[in-house]
Structure 1
């Protein structure tokens, strides 16, 4: 590890959670928790205070799309930046489970995908969470079996996604709808059958020939290609301006953000430091992230999978806010959620304060919150 790295701190606590929850249950939990939290509508702005919490409970996934916390927690950068605030980390398998923990009071902040954050914001009437920074863009692909060469070949096919209503599930359904193919979230007649399930199960079923393909995040798209013989029919970045869309961002309970802005700013300082190092040392960063995955799950990614998956990601502090409302609109159009306006979901004031202090370009909330 180079001199840019922080020494590892011994007071970090990691508790692995094998957690999954039905989307409906999570949304119900979000609704009730949003009423309980009842934060005010004031945004955190530069100079709002530097109060710090005695403890920060942070969630993230043991997944390469969460490279920022994987690297920053593993090498001690996050713990050191937080100073006297104790860092406690919980590992999740899916966004709805992380949201459920946040709304039940078990988390203060979590790295998460866009659609679970949208659902949390909507079900709490825009009160309970704020997006305070980005983390990752890209890294999702539709991979299919041989013989499927264009969208029309998908008619009658069975495809998988990680979870009903999750980011990739919404993206697949919206793309198919735009291409003239109907899907259903309740069963019945449709052009393409979508079966949301655990990614490991998707890999097994694809190898057995029971699935025609899947829309998956990394490293699972790469695993289906390298281990299952799949091919890429569509890389999601082809659907977005300049190939940029949010895959992972950082959300914080609004109540925690308002009470402890100093702690949130230090967390963002740790993120920016980590992302600077990742950008300067991509190969070493990929190895460190993979080592962390191995420590958390008991198994690292294969070197071939890591080599294919890592370049498909862009690590960034920018939450790419311009892509979020469209993701919400897609979810409504395919029937996995109601229409929702996201005004106020972002508070990027602390992140932009950190970026400005370091001479970097501020990021945009795209009219959906405070900058």
Structure 2
């Protein structure tokens, strides 16, 4: 099945490239030299440096690397990968040229766009939706019960931190950036928050999978807010795929092949869910030596949706929320998406196009 899918995508890519090739501009550097490219085809690089996280919310990357789907798609290009544990580090790597593309959450992408005045990156595909929420101790049954409580988020200004602060504000509660206010928000990495919740030193945490499932299943936590219930159609961007603008301009052919591998990975997860879970966990084990327990893996996968759609409306809303809680200066996100190559491939493969429009 995988080989047939890749052959179909490869033919689609070739057909699209022949008629709508993107022009290369700029000069190549030592690490990304142009590969020999047939006349009329979009320019390709000899190398591609891809970033992703050893986290189940990055399953399309985990599966794509583990099953060789990116390698199969990137014919003529050598793929190297680098993993990160936090969005800001991945953005810095992209800005410095240490990587060419990366899977990442929405708020780091927004911050990278703002920091570079819209010059550093483009969002080229969706990846993951859902899988985040507020887990609390028993006895906390409403927003009012959170007064005086300690709640963790992964990092000040990160995607889950913004979601918590916006939800608190909507429910008449305040929290400042120093841990004060009606609710004390404590920035802690996910592993620390999971341990702190188990030990009882915090009252809850707004976390992504698989940490949400760990807190529910291992520490008998209670899900007070499932974040997807706060969004239209219960969909919001958790992870998407971005690329540096420089690389996109110079090597559009390679970017299309990267997208071909990405589409194949999302399809593989959809068509082979059990094996995809195993492949993702194998990749996590190879990267961290700590695979997820089967019950955690199954619960986390069930709570996530893997999609090519970047769910653009949720990105614009998330940026608005960050502005409203004082964590982001007003930023113009017009142009942050370039979904043309993705939509060309989807159309050629008989799949519906995705939109870069803000929510209406």
- The answer (yes or no) to whether the contact 1:343–1:367 under 8 Å persists in 2 is no
Please give the per-residue CA displacement for 1:322-353, whole angstroms capped at 9, x wherever unaligned.
11111001111111111112100000000001
Q: Is the 8 A contact 2:2 2:268 kept in 1?
A: no
Task: Give the Cα–Cα distance (whole angstroms) in 2 for the partners of residues 361 and 80 of structure 1.
Answer: 24
Output one character per residue of 1:15-56: Cα deviation in whole Å (capped at 9) or x when no partner. xxxxxxxxxxxxxxxxxxxxxxxxxxxxxx942141001110
Instruction: Name the counterpart of 1:300.
Output: 291
Mapped partners of 1:280, 1:79: distance in 2: 20
Structure 1 distance, partners of 2:2, 2:99, is 32
Q: Does 1:51 align with 2:25?
A: no
Flag the 1:5–1:202 CA change in 2: closer, same or farther, 3 A. farther
The Cα offsets for residues 97-125 of structure 1, whole Å up to 9 and x where unpaired, read as 10011111101000000000000001111
Aligned partner (choices 297, 319, 323) of residue 314 of structure 2: 323
The 5-angstrom pairing of residues 340-355 of structure 1 reads: 340-355=331-346
Shift of residue 157, structure 1, vs aligned partner: 0.7
**Cα distance in 1 for residues equivalent to 2:21 and 2:255:** 13
SS of the equivalent of 1:228 reads coil
2:254 counterpart of 1:280: no
Aligned pair partner of 1:174 in 166, 176, 184: 166
Structure 1 residue corresponding to 2:64, chosen from 31, 51, 72: 72
**Distance in 1, Cα, partners of 2:178 & 2:335:** 32
1:5 and 1:209 mapped to 2: Cα distance? 49
Alignment-derived partner of residue 339 in structure 1: 330
Partner of 1:252: 243
Is 2:206 the partner of 1:219?
A: no
Alignment correspondent of 1:33? none
2:353 is matched with which residue? 362
Q: Which runs of 5+ in 2 are unaligned?
A: 7-18, 24-41
Contact kept in structure 2, 1:58 and 1:109, CA below 8 Å: yes
Segments ≥4 residues shifted beyond 4 Å:
1-6
2:260 to 263, 269, 291: 269
Distance 1:327 1:46 in 2: 33
- C-alpha separation in 2, matches of 1:137 and 1:176: 22
Aligned-CA RMSD value: 1.6
**TM-score between the two structures when normalised by the length of structure 1:** 0.86
Count of residue pairs the alignment pairs up: 329
Please give the secondary structure, in 1, of the residue aligned with 2:128: strand
Residues in 2 aligned to 1:270 and 1:130: alpha-carbon distance in whole angstroms:
18
Q: TM-score, normalised by structure 2?
A: 0.89
1:195 and 2:186 correspond: yes
Query: Quick check: 1:131–1:250 contact (8 Å CA) kept in 2?
Result: yes
Alpha-carbon deviations, 1:133-173, whole Å to 9, x = none?
A: 00000000110011101111011110001111110010000
